[in-house]
Amino acid sequence: SPGWTAVQFMRTNHIDQTAAAHILRSQVATARAELDALDRPTLVVCGADDTDNGSAPDLAAVLPAATYAETPGTHMSSVTKPEFGQAIAAFLAA
């Protein structure tokens, strides 16, 4: 389950669960007008099996200057794949 995975991640990385809960509760949604105002090139990278935080393709679609890149993996495992770094390098080189 996602809850079990999150708890194990926090234990493995020695993250204070109470502090993490406070941080998560303090996050607020970004208004559509704020997203529309982002005019800088933006890379949205997402693991193909990442379902943790909503739709990355949908986020890229609403950002005026966004590029979407999908890499193998889940929310956390995708950052360990070479394709993740390759997507960033390709974006920065463009």
pLDDT digit string (tens) for 17-43?
899 888 888 888 889 899 999 999 999
Domain that holds residue 67: 31-94
Residues 14 and 57 in one domain: no
Domain identity same for 71 and 91: yes
86 phi and psi, to 5 degrees? Answer: -65, -40
Q: Do residues 24 and 36 share a domain?
A: no
Residues 59 and 79 in one domain: yes
**pLDDT score of 48 more than 90:** yes
* Predicted local distance difference test score (pLDDT) of residue 2: 62
For residues 71 and 41, state if they share a domain.
yes
Q: Are residues 11 and 51 in the same domain?
A: no
Same domain, 58 and 90: yes
Q: How far is CA 67 from CA 41, 60, 70, in A?
A: 8, 6, 10
**Which one has a higher pLDDT value, 52 or 81?**
81
Show the tokens assigned to 73.
């993996």
CA 1, CA 93: separation in Å to the nearest integer? 38
Start-to-end CA distance of the chain, whole Å, equals: 39
Q: Which amino acid is at 35?
A: L
Q: What is the pLDDT of residue 33?
A: 92
CA-nearest of 52, 92, 47 to 69 is: 47
